[in-house]
Amino acid sequence: MRFHLLDPLRGMAALWVFTYHYTFSTAFRQSFPFLHELFKQGDRGVPVFFVISGFCIMATAKSLIRRAGPSRDFLVRRALRIFPTYWASILVVIAVPFTAGFLGMLKSGLYGLPHSGDEWRAPFHDFDFFEWIRYASLTQVFYPFPDANALSVKFTELNAVYWSLAIEFQFYVVVAVALTRRQHFIGILALITIISVPFVFWPASTIFGIFLPYWPMFVFGMLVYLLLEIGTSPQRMLGARHRMLATVLVGAIGVLYAFTVLMALEVEPVVFAAFFAIATWCLFALDDSFVNLLYGGFLPGRVLAAGCAALGSMSYSLYLLHGRLQQLTTQFVRQILPMNSIAHDVGAIVLTCLLVYGFYVLFEAPFAAASARRRG
């Protein structure tokens, strides 16, 4: 089952996380206050990733079961898809302080090596061998960290967004283990889901580094896939007017979330994930419309659809590197455009996306292709 709209959704989630970390100019905040507030909700992009990942991983697992493929292939494919790009992103993160020093030299004529106390802090100078091993293996997520109030704190010295990747890979390991008992595959996942429920209501458990507090978000995506697989699709449930009704439902969910933003209401990530899963199910009714627009629509529509698809393709790279690369792009763009301007914001975001696309072509795309070939 191919769900083409998942790529644009994944891309928009990555861009949303980007805007969450980006510091917008005063001009933008004053001109678009609601949009700025919406952008600052971008940490909700992580639950979006978890839901989409649950859908895709369930699709992969069910495909493996149908063709009686070896269980180890599942985890090998996921590791091949995740770790090489992740390790390459670490190299980019390491290179950023040195590149920033070079850009500064073009203006001042002086080059200084980055050190742990300056603006371009290079904490890897202080890492020992075991710290590097923990980061490279994503086991840093389990390391006790004094006064940590969020998992991202454990990764901040290198790149804060890596925390969710550590949780994501734990999801993969759990599914891989469940696949070793295929006749009980769904039952094992259901049992883990039941075990995870108390952790959702125990906020302190999110600091432990285990997947359980986040597992229900992943399960929501799995449920969407299973509903579609058994034929409980919006096309069947909503009848002849499924496109219109699905659009109305998605719009209603969007309006409801916009209301929470306007009223400054806190929406728990798991609640947000549940509503996003419902919206995802509805959007399946519009998938063929997106495909028609992508390949046969009028030119502006095709360009927009292609852009969304491209953003989705590089969403993993964008998620990994936006925070560090924007440090370079803002340094460069401010030499050309006034810092306190909307043009500066747009220029920095677009340039960051272009740099990320280069990384995607060089590093992520080849390993994604290798993972796809292994599936074939």
Flag whether 165 is in a domain: yes
Q: Record the pTM.
A: 0.93
- How many domains in the chain? 1
pLDDT at 174 over 80: yes
Residue 87 lies in a domain: yes
Question: If we measure between CA atoms, which residue out of 36, 38, 35, 47 comes closest to residue 9?
Answer: 47
272 within a domain of the structure (yes/no): yes
Q: Of 46, 78, 7, 162, whose CA–CA distance to 367 is shortest?
A: 78
Contacting residues for 349 by C-beta, under 8 A, at least 6 apart: 18, 19, 22, 326
Residue 1 lies in a domain: no
Neighbour tally for 221: CB within 10 Å: 28
17-76, pLDDT tens digit by residue?
999 999 999 999 999 999 999 999 999 999 999 999 999 999 999 999 988 878 888 999
Amino acid at 122: A
Sign, CA torsion 144/133/355/299 = negative
* Model pLDDT for residues 264-312, shown as the tens digit of each residue: 899 999 999 999 999 999 999 999 999 998 888 788 888 999 999 999 9
Confidence of residue 138 (pLDDT cuts 50, 70, 90): very high
Is residue 321 in a domain?
yes
Domain span holding position 334: 6-375
Residue 216 and residue 270 in contact, taking contact as beta carbons nearer than 8 Å: yes
Q: Indicate the DSSP class of residue 360.
A: I
Going from the C-alpha of 249 to that of each of 5, 257, 292, the distances in angstroms are 16, 12, 22
CA neighbours within 13 Å on the CB side: how many for 153?
Answer: 11
